[in-house]
Amino acid sequence: MGADEGTLTPAARWDITTPARRGRLPGMSQAGFRDRTTSPLDLPVIPYPAVTLAIDLGNGRIVDTVRDRQQVGGVVFGLSPGAVHARGRNIDCLQIRMSPVVAHAVLGTSLEPGGEIVSLDALWGPDAARLLEQLRAAASWEERFAIAEAALGRRYEAGRAVDPEVAHAWRKMVLSQGRVRIEPLAAEVGWSRKRLWTRFRSQIGPTPKRAAQLIRFDHAAHRLASGQSAGLVAAESGYTDQSHLHRDVMTFTGVTPTAVSAAPWLAVDDAAWAALA
């Protein structure tokens, strides 16, 4: 480690590049990450209400610490992943976040919440290797962004869209920051609670209740990371009390709200990600 590497804040560790223009595919955001340091990285992933595609262009890997498995190259993990860590040295990585409504068509499947990480090879076969080769040969981040957007756009157009009722339910959850009751939401789309539960679960991954909890948690986690107190965050984010917030944070991350407030994964969000549509 260089003399000043240990003093870098999490956000300062990275050179972060984002596309110069908004992408044509709604519900998808891209960011390029290049590690400024030479020190080893072991970065726990904080659950986020999107499907994440991480494409390693250097020496990184994604590790499932519960199952003691790791993946290199292109890796996909769904909403509310398990104990997932990004590890390596001299990281150079393209990350793509997709709304699960978009991801269903792009990937051709939904991903189990808390499930193991999935290689892009397993989902796309030889197309994944070709995409990785093109991205590594690209001369700039802008070229990489264009290549990735074109590849995902083709799959989105050819893929099977989620039910309009499921897409509507997801949008309402996001707009309400997870503060929505499932029974009225089912009635709003003209379905029974059981039908919404089943269709949402098969197309998005988690149950509607779990998805709403994740969206609410994400909103709370970013408020904690901004320096707001746990008491205030709990009171203004739909939790019954601070203990309720503590339980939710522990459920999703395995650590306390205090630890989440300092999570390196959250420290770069303002620089890397625009709000998903």
Average confidence (pLDDT) over 187-211? 94
Look at residue 11 in the predicted model and tell me its pLDDT: 62
Name 113's Cβ contacts closer than 8 Å, sequence gap at least 6. Answer: 78, 79, 80, 81, 205, 206, 210, 214
Look at residue 38 in the predicted model and tell me its pLDDT: 78
> What does the alpha-carbon distance between residue 247 and residue 238 come to, in Å, rounded to a whole number?
13
pLDDT for residue 249 is more than 80: yes
CB of 238 within 8 A of CB of 177?
A: yes
Nearest to 93 by CA among 276, 277, 229, 272: 272
> Rounded mean pLDDT of the chain?
86
pLDDT for residue 114 is more than 70: no
Average confidence (pLDDT) over 129-147? 94
Nearest to 198 by CA among 174, 206, 188, 114: 206
pLDDT tier at 138, thresholds 50, 70, 90:
very high
Choose from 5-9, 73-77, 81-85, 174-178 the range with maximum mean pLDDT: 174-178
pLDDT tier at 9, thresholds 50, 70, 90:
low
All domains in the chain, ordered by first residue: 5-160 (2.60.120.10)
pLDDT tier at 5, thresholds 50, 70, 90:
very low
What percent of the chain has a predicted confidence (pLDDT) above 90? 54
Write out the two tokens for 108. Answer: 């051709």
Look at residue 6 in the predicted model and tell me its pLDDT: 44
